[in-house]
Amino acid sequence: MRTVYLDNAATTKTDEEVINEMIPFFSRDFGNASSLHSYGKKVKVTLEDSRDFIAGFFGASPKDIVFTNSGTESNNHAIKGTAFRNLGSGRDHIISSSVEHSSVLDALKYLESRFNFNVTYLKPGRFGRVDPGDVINSVTDKTFMISLMHSNNETGAVTDIRKITEYSTDKNIYVHSDTVQSAGKLKLNFKDLNVNFATVSAHKIYGPKGIAALYIKDKTLTDKFLHGGKQERDLRGGTENIALIAGFKKAVEILKHKMEKDLQHYENLKLLLIKGLKEYYSGAVIFNSDTVDCLPNIINISFDRNKLKFDEEMLLIQLDLKGIAVSGGSACTAGTLKPSHVLKEIGHDEKTALGSLRISTGRNNSEEDIVLFMNALKEIVKFK
C-alpha cells in the first residue's frame, strides 16, 4: 500500500542535501565554537556563516538572530523574556489571541498565574484571522507587548501584522510574531514587518528538528532565557549545535532556490483538492481555510453531520489505515481526542471540531497524492 504524507504543517521530511551537509559536524568537524583552538575556530566560521545567510534570507541583520532548539523555545524566550524585563515597571498588560499555538498560550497562562500579568485574548474572525482593529482597541496605558502569529497553524489564515506594528511602534509596545508556519510559504522580511521578535523553525522547511531561530530586533530589551554561558549574544547559554545549524542553513539555501516553484506547486495542489472536495461533497464540506490571505499549503475542512456519516473519533485513524497521514489540528496538541481549540474559537461545536481535518501539502507531494486522499476520504466520510 502506498502511503501519502499530507501533514507538512506538523513537520517536513529532512532534505537529503541537508542530511549530507550535517554529517561532517558529527565526526570530522566536531569542535566547540567557543574554543580558541583550530577545532573551535573552524566551526565558529560555520556558525557565523549560517547566521549571516539565514538572517539575510529573512531580511534581518546577523546580530539579530539567536539560535534556539525549537519554535516553542523561541516563543517562550520572546514572551517570558520581555515580561520578566517589565516586572515592576507598572506595565503588565499583554495582548494576544485565543487561537495562538500552545507554546504561546501556555507561556501566557504561566505569566498570568505565577506573576499576575494581565492578558487579553482576542477572538478571531471566521477563518482564524485576528482583526488589527481589535488589537488597537485593546491597547491600554499598561500594554507592553502584543503576541500574535503571522499565519494560523491550523487554518493558514494570515493576520496583518504590519498594520499592528505601524500603530505599536509609537506606543513603545513590543510585538512578537510566531512566523513558523509562514516561513517558506510566504515571503517574509522581518524588518518590513517591523516586529521586535519573530520565530522560525528549521523542520518546517525541510531542515532538521531541534534547531530554530529567534529574531530579536536591534535594541529590543529582553531577559536572557538560558543561563550558564555567554553564547548567542549572551541571551542563550549552552554550546551551539553546529551540525543542526549547518543543516538549517542548507535548508534555507535550498528554499531560496526553490521557493518560487514551491509556492506555485502548493497553489496547484490546493486548487486540485478544493475542486475535488467541492465536486464530490458539494455543500456538505465546510472550509475553515480562506481563499485569500491564507497560506498556499494548508486546507482545513469540517463536515456537515446532517448530510454525512462518519466517526469523528476514528476519522484520523481510519485514514491512516488507508495510508493517508493528515491531522486534526496542531501536532503539539495531538495524541489526545480533544477537539481543536482553534476550530472551537472560530465557531464550531465540539463534535464538528473533533471531526475536522487539516491537510497540508509539501514539496514532495504530487497530484496523485491528492487523488489518493480523496479516494480514501470517500470511503470513510459517506453521504447518509
Work out the angle at residue 14's Cα, subtended by the Cα atoms of residues 13 and 15, and round it to the nearest 5 degrees: 110
What residues are labeled active site?
332
- Which residue ranges of the chain lie beneath pLDDT 50? none
Query: What residues does each domain of the chain span?
Result: 4-11+258-383, 16-254
CA–CA gap between residue 107 and residue 142 (Å, rounded): 19
Work out the angle at residue 147's Cα, subtended by the Cα atoms of residues 363 and 341, and round it to the nearest 5 degrees: 70
Q: What pLDDT shows up at residue 71?
A: 98
Task: Kindly report the number of other CB atoms within 10 A of residue 145's CB atom.
Answer: 26
Is the CA virtual torsion 322, 323, 327, 333 positive or negative? positive
Its pTM stands at: 0.95
Q: What pLDDT shows up at residue 329?
A: 62
C-alpha cell at 303: 463536515
CATH of 16-254, one of 3.30.360.10, 3.40.640.10, 3.30.450.20, 1.20.120.420: 3.40.640.10
Alpha helices in the chain (DSSP H): 16-22, 38-57, 71-85, 102-115, 132-138, 161-168, 190-193, 231-234, 242-281, 315-321, 341-345, 350-354, 367-380
- Helix 242-281 × helix 38-57 angle, to 10°: 30
CA–CA gap between residue 169 and residue 167 (Å, rounded): 6
Q: What pLDDT shows up at residue 330?
A: 54
Q: What pLDDT shows up at residue 116?
A: 97
Torsion angle defined by CA atoms of residues 274, 184, 148 and 350, in that order, rounded to the nearest 10 degrees: 30
Q: What pLDDT shows up at residue 338?
A: 79
C-alpha cell at 265: 506547486
CATH number given to 4-11+258-383: 3.90.1150.10
Indicate the DSSP class of residue 258: H
Q: What pLDDT shows up at residue 169?
A: 86
Q: Which run of H or of E encompasses 340?
A: none
Q: What pLDDT shows up at residue 336?
A: 57
215: nearest Cα among 10, 50, 54, 12: 54
Q: What pLDDT shows up at residue 1?
A: 81
Q: What pLDDT shows up at residue 62?
A: 97
Which residues, in sequence order, are bridge partners of residue 93? Answer: 118, 143
Q: What pLDDT shows up at residue 92?
A: 97
What are the CA-CA distances from residue 98 to residues 103, 119, 123, 198, 293 (Å)?
A: 12, 11, 6, 19, 19
Q: What pLDDT shows up at residue 328?
A: 87
Q: What pLDDT shows up at residue 238?
A: 95
Contacting residues for 243 by C-beta, under 8 A, at least 6 apart: 22, 23, 25, 26
Q: What pLDDT shows up at residue 339?
A: 86
